Amino acid sequence: MLWLNCNAFYNCAFSLANSIHLTPFHNIKPFTIALALKIRNFTQAICPPENTDVMKVYLDNAATTALDSSVLEVMMPYLTEQYGNPSSIHGFGRETKAAIEKSRKVIAKYLNASVGEIFFTSGGTESANLVLKCAVERYGVKHIITSKIEHHCVTHPVEELEKAGKIKAHYVQLDENGRVVYEDLERLVYQYGKDVLVALMHANNEIGNLLDIERVAQLCSEQGALFFSDTVQTIAHFPLDLQKTPVHFISGSAHKFHGPKGVGFVFIRSEKQLCPLIHGGSQERNMRAGTENIYGIVGLAKAMENSYNHILEYHSYINDLKSYLYTELKNAIPDIKVNGVYGDESLYTVLNVSFPANENSDFLIYNLDINNIAASAGSACTSGSDQGSHVLRELAIDPSRANVRFSFSRHNTHEELDYVVQHMSKFYGITQEQGSGH
């Protein structure tokens, strides 16, 4: 009851924010929205929801996924009785060391890599920093060819390297849907040749566009350029055979496929060698100092195993969820558009939708949240401190429209998606019968 009152309070604050845009005080609208959110967060903290039966829909799986119970199960012994330091020579240490090496074998097996090419890290961000900074150091890279829509774990280190005068960054041309223009990439690689590192992600985490990783790997290997692909969104979602794809470096992160947070890996092809990013002990064959995150590493391997053992089945199920949501939303609200590419050239776990503008569209993502639907804004909004999505800005998306990234996992159901469509229809004042045309 108290919770309902809190929600009503929050909704009032939003209504107030909304009506302000019709008045001469419309400039304070972003401030009023921020205030409404603060009120909501505060009221949630002091009076959490009492009704636990309400449907909660988690569609933010590109941000992170739920830890699988079978993963937790294999991790537990290393959080309790198997606590030895893997660098210790006694039995406790040998036990945990063996667990790490067994996990490394699992990762290498699924990627068709050799065990010596896999190094455990704290996740995708560290792996990308390691490759970019250490490849520049070790190979005297002078030019980095990348894109404006990479994850910040790539764009920011590239900017830092450029600021330090170590490299010149070149941004490959993208088409209106955010696809890499391969001819432009070829031009850049031919121009800068051997001094080049190409850093292009396999799948974009916001719009889901897929890169033809084989084509880029082939181009780079022919021209003697280094190639790093941020594969954080595709590891354990697509098969990748590293014997067939001559990419030099890739990265992975366990929490994107139902593993634990704070653990991942970097693949460094055996003929390439990098210097460490973190200096200290001799862990990870001198490549990454610091006592290993054993339970994380064991969890990462189990999550890989779970995903790769059912990869086609999960692919088909999740892909079906994505097309179902798109079709149902399109039926209900015909004026929606997909941001990025839709279909085979896109990641089946991500659907980024642009919704029409109306007087409430600034609040769409908050409205979803208040109705227990977790999705990501990915908005091109530039108001207040919210700089919006650098990816959508690059695609020149109409900033007045509301953009929502829905991202799926095998735990989502069609019933949850029906609930989302119902809500979206309500938000746009469309009755379901009207919208779906049934």
Ligand X SMILES: Cc1ncc(COP(=O)(O)O)c(C=O)c1O
Phi/psi zone of residue 378: left (φ > 0), alpha (ψ -120 to 50 degrees), beta?
left
- Does residue 346 interact with ligand X by CB under 6 A? no
Q: Smallest gap, in angstroms, from Cβ of residue 153 to ligand X?
A: 5
86 or 123: whose CB is closer to ligand X? 123
The active-site residue out of 6, 153, 220, 381 is: 381
- Does residue 233 interact with ligand X by CB under 6 A? yes
Could you list the beta-strand ranges (E) of 200-325: 226-230, 249-253, 264-268
125 or 403: whose CB is closer to ligand X? 125
| Closest C-alpha to 152, from 132, 173, 122, 175 | 132
100 or 347: whose CB is closer to ligand X? 347
- Does residue 131 interact with ligand X by CB under 6 A? no
- Does residue 371 interact with ligand X by CB under 6 A? no
* Residue of the chain from 84, 123, 260, 299 that contacts ligand X (CB under 6 A): 123
Active site residue 381: yes
Report the Cα–Cα distance between both ends of the chain, in Å, rounded. 37
Q: Give the CA dihedral 335, 340, 341, 346, nearest 10 degrees.
A: -120
* Residue of the chain from 68, 95, 230, 416 that contacts ligand X (CB under 6 A): 230
Selected range binding ligand X among 71-79, 166-174, 228-236, 423-431, rule: CB under 6 A: 228-236
Selected range binding ligand X among 14-22, 43-51, 120-128, 162-170, rule: CB under 6 A: 120-128
Position 257: which residue type?
Answer: F
Burial label, 405 (beta-carbon count in 10 A; 0-12, 13-18, 19+): buried
One DSSP character per residue, 52-90 reads TTS--EE-BTTT--PPPHHHHHHHHHHHTT----TT-SS
* Residue of the chain from 264, 299, 340, 435 that contacts ligand X (CB under 6 A): 264
- β-sheet bridge partners, residue 354: 337, 403
117 or 150: whose CB is closer to ligand X? 150
Q: Smallest gap, in angstroms, from Cβ of residue 75 to ligand X?
A: 17
Selected range binding ligand X among 225-233, 283-291, 331-339, 413-421, rule: CB under 6 A: 225-233
- Does residue 232 interact with ligand X by CB under 6 A? yes
Number of chain positions touching ligand X (CB under 6 A): 12
- Tokens (6 digits) for 141: 């890279």
User: Which own/partner pairs from 389-393 qualify as long-range (CB within 8 Å, at least 24 positions apart)?
Assistant: 389/206, 390/148, 390/149, 390/152, 390/155, 391/149, 391/178, 391/204, 391/206, 391/207, 392/206, 392/207, 392/339
* Residue of the chain from 100, 161, 200, 201 that contacts ligand X (CB under 6 A): 201
Phi/psi zone of residue 178: left (φ > 0), alpha (ψ -120 to 50 degrees), beta?
left
* Residue of the chain from 253, 354, 371, 379 that contacts ligand X (CB under 6 A): 253
- Does residue 378 interact with ligand X by CB under 6 A? no
* Residue of the chain from 61, 96, 103, 125 that contacts ligand X (CB under 6 A): 125
* Residue of the chain from 143, 151, 258, 401 that contacts ligand X (CB under 6 A): 151
- Does residue 153 interact with ligand X by CB under 6 A? yes
Distance of CA 36 to the CA centre of its chain: 28
62 or 424: whose CB is closer to ligand X? 62
Selected range binding ligand X among 28-36, 108-116, 229-237, 291-299, rule: CB under 6 A: 229-237
- Does residue 147 interact with ligand X by CB under 6 A? no
349 or 354: whose CB is closer to ligand X? 349
Position 288: which residue type?
Answer: R
- Does residue 205 interact with ligand X by CB under 6 A? yes
DSSP, collapsed to helix, strand or coil, labels residue 375 as: coil
17 or 200: whose CB is closer to ligand X? 200
Q: What are the CA-CA distances from residue 284 to residues 95, 167, 223, 243 (Å)?
A: 16, 28, 31, 22
| Closest C-alpha to 102, from 87, 88, 118, 91 | 118
| Closest C-alpha to 174, from 150, 198, 151 | 150
Query: Active-site residue numbers?
Result: 381
- Chain residues binding ligand X by CB under 6 A are 123-125, 151, 153, 201, 205, 230, 232-233, 253, 264
